[in-house]
Amino acid sequence: MNSLSEAPLSKIRTVAYQPASTANRSTTVHTVRMKLNRILPLLLLLGLCSISAPSAFGQVKGYGFGPKIGLYLDQGRLMVGALGEFPVAAAMFFEPGAEIIFGIKNTTRLVADLNARYTFLVRGASIEPFIIAGLAGRIDIYQAAAGESFTDTGFRLNLGGGVTVNPRSLMQPWAGVKIFFLDDTGTDLALQGGVNFYF
């Protein structure tokens, strides 16, 4: 009776601990690869859609334009100007601007900026941080005592950043800093802000 009762158990143990064959392993690997081949294109498509559709983050599409005001901290010089905003990609913008700087004796200083701006899209947030970098041209118009005038020009490198408020609105206030380098007038840091209107 003992030998008859143990025989089925030994067979069960043999089946339970029998390793998978090479054919079964190949079938499993093939199945996993087939599933990955189906899932990966969907993930790639989802990623492309999230990059190419900033409206999913509530960001306003279109061109922007608005005034700005600021203060260069080196000698407390007031700046007023304007800038435009032209979308290049989902979070990248071309941002040209112009400024007039006051407070330089007998001199009118004009600055033209050609900046690129990258915005960090934050889903559902009421503010969006950004960074800027670009080139700028400067022209100083000197008024001499005899009534004559002459000019001096230069180029500079811009770096900066800030935050935009209410990015889902057609009117977006913003504030930030801008520092310029490589100009023969020196290096200076500006606190600046303004409002962009989108069309």
pLDDT digits (tens, 9 = 90+) for 87-97: 999 899 999 99
Task: Report in angstroms the alpha-carbon separations of 109 from 20, 26, 67, 164, 187.
Answer: 81, 74, 18, 27, 15
More confident position, 149 or 174: 174
More confident position, 118 or 11: 118
Asked whether the predicted pLDDT for residue 52 surpasses 70, the reply is no
Rounded to an integer, the average pLDDT of 10-39 is 51
The model's pTM is: 0.67
Contact 163, 174 (CB under 8 A): yes
Categorize the per-residue pLDDT at 30 as very low, low, confident or very high, splitting at 50, 70 and 90: low
Distance CA(175)–CA(177), nearest Å, equals: 7
Phi/psi at 152 (nearest 5 deg)? Answer: -135, 135
101-150 pLDDT per residue, tens: 999 988 999 999 999 999 998 887 889 999 999 999 999 999 887 778 88
- Which residues make Cβ contacts (< 8 Å) with residue 107, sequence separation at least 6? 140, 141, 142, 143
Distance CA(162)–CA(176), nearest Å, equals: 4
Distance CA(159)–CA(180), nearest Å, equals: 6
CATH architecture of the domain covering 57-198? Beta Barrel (2.40)
More confident position, 115 or 22: 115
**Residue 134 confidence (pLDDT):** 97
List the chain domain ranges: 2-52, 57-198
Rounded to an integer, the average pLDDT of 167-193 is 92
**Residue 49 confidence (pLDDT):** 43
- Give the 3-state secondary structure of residue 47: helix
What residue has token string 């993930």? 43
Closest CA to 117 of 155, 164, 51: 164
